[in-house]
């Protein structure tokens, strides 16, 4: 099978010759924007034999809405308006995605990282202020998230209709068990999460949900259990939910993961034989011969030796 065939077959629960594999990481500071960023992606994906591409949105974490940045009190959120499709914040990301896709030497499935509105609002202002306003006037935050969802949805549309992406890698955050109750999350955050993902599904059925464990604190995974994504990725080692149990938890959907992304993990710190043994054991744990994609809990450290990633691919090819 070629890379595209393997990934799409796995996503659709069809038989594959081996599990697809994909890893990604943040690039160096001088490679976060413009042509340098595009070339960094191509230098990686055209030289390391992974099966799928996830384009990083480095340089575009901060949601640059001037109305959001001028918010002082919770009621100010009701003045928020979308940036719109022609704003450079959206257009430049679409241009990046198209340039990376056009420069790939292999026909690979391409996914672009899109943050859920609750991440966008916090990156664009501050976590502390957003959480304070959520406690004070949760409806105001829910309103703002709905506005931001319009921009994030527009980005999804353009990524697939203009840049040619196969789907999005949709990052949800904020479900940490010490942040808020599940009831609060589902009432005020989930509607905007689902709005973007459901809109993306209108343009492609191949969207990946990333349940981010960035804080190193277990999430309320049940917050995201019913989200309409084709593939689910979560922090196996943070959540203490292995890839087989997680697949059942998320209703038998195709899953992506199994590898620790931290520097203490075997992929970063193990010997070659330890990496081979880990991958062989991981594959042997799968309870079906499809519906499993190998990846990491999150982004790998940026200084990882790329030979280690290629070793994973070579080990899979030898099975």
pLDDT tens digits, residue range 141-180?
999 999 999 999 999 999 999 999 999 999 999 999 999 9
| pTM for this prediction | 0.97
Check if the beta carbon of residue 218 is closer than 8 Å to that of residue 188: no
Query: What are the DSSP E strand ranges found in the chain?
Result: 52-55, 109-115, 167-172, 208-211, 231-234, 254-259, 292-296
Check if the beta carbon of residue 70 is closer than 8 Å to that of residue 125: no
Other beta carbons within 10 angstroms of residue 84's beta carbon come to: 11
Distance CA 309, CA 183 (A): 40
- pLDDT value at residue 29: 96
- pLDDT value at residue 76: 97
- 3-class DSSP assignment, residue 24: coil
Q: Half-sphere exposure of 2 toward its Cβ, with a 13 Å CA cutoff?
A: 6
- pLDDT value at residue 123: 96
φ, ψ for residue 278, nearest 5 deg: -65, -45
φ, ψ for residue 113, nearest 5 deg: -70, 120
- pLDDT value at residue 7: 98
The residue-averaged pLDDT of 245-255 equals 97
- pLDDT value at residue 222: 98
pLDDT digits (tens, 9 = 90+) for 69-97: 999 999 999 999 999 999 999 999 999 99
Where does the pLDDT of residue 19 fall: very low under 50, low under 70, confident under 90, or very high at 90 and above? very high
Distance CA 112, CA 122 (A): 20
Residue written as token pair 């690979």: 108
- pLDDT value at residue 257: 98
Right CATH for 3-318 from 3.30.9.10, 3.20.20.210, 3.30.420.40, 3.20.20.450: 3.20.20.210
Distance CA 200, CA 167 (A): 8
pLDDT digits (tens, 9 = 90+) for 255-281: 999 999 999 999 999 999 999 999 999
- Percentage of the chain beyond pLDDT 90 is 99
Where does the pLDDT of residue 47 fall: very low under 50, low under 70, confident under 90, or very high at 90 and above? very high
- Percentage of the chain beyond pLDDT 70 is 100
Tell me the sheet residues that pair with 208.
Answer: 169, 231
Residue written as token pair 């038989």: 15
Q: To the nearest whole number, what is the mean pLDDT of the chain?
A: 97
Distance CA 246, CA 256 (A): 10
Check if the beta carbon of residue 75 is closer than 8 Å to that of residue 140: yes
């Amino acid at each position: 099978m070629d890379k595209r065939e393997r990934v799409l077959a796995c996503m659709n629960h069809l038989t594959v010759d081996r599990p697809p594999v994909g890893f990604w990481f943040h690039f160096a500071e001088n490679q976060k924007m413009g042509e340098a960023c595009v070339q960094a992606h191509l230098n990686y994906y055209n030289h390391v034999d992974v099966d799928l591409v996830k384009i990083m949105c480095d340089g575009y974490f901060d949601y640059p809405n001037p109305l959001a940045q001028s918010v002082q009190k919770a009621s100010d959120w009701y003045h928020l308006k979308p940036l719109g499709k022609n704003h450079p914040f959206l257009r430049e990301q679409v241009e990046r995605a198209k340039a990376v896709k056009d420069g790939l030497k292999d026909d690979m499935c391409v996914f672009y990282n899109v943050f859920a509105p609750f991440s966008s609002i916090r990156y664009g202002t501050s976590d502390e202020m957003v959480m304070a306003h959520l406690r004070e006037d949760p409806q105001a935050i829910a309103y703002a998230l709905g506005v931001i969802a319009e921009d994030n949805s527009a980005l999804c549309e353009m990524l697939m209709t203009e840049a040619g992406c196969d789907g999005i890698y949709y990052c949800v955050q904020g479900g940490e068990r010490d942040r808020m109750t599940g009831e609060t999350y589902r009432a005020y955050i989930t509607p905007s999460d689902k709005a973007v993902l459901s809109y993306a599904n209108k343009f492609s059925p191949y969207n990946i949900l990333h349940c981010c464990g960035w804080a190193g604190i277990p999430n309320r995974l049940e917050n995201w259990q019913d989200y309409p994504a084709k593939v689910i990725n979560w922090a196996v080692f943070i959540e203490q939910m292995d890839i087989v149990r997680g697949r059942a938890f998320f209703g038998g959907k195709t899953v992506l993961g199994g590898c620790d992304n931290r520097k203490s993990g075997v992929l970063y710190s193990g010997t070659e034989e330890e990496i081979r043994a880990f991958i062989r054991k991981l594959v042997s744990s799968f309870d079906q011969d499809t519906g499993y994609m190998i990846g990491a809990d999150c982004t790998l450290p940026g200084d990882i030796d790329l030979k280690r990633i290629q070793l994973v691919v070579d080990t899979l090819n030898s099975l």
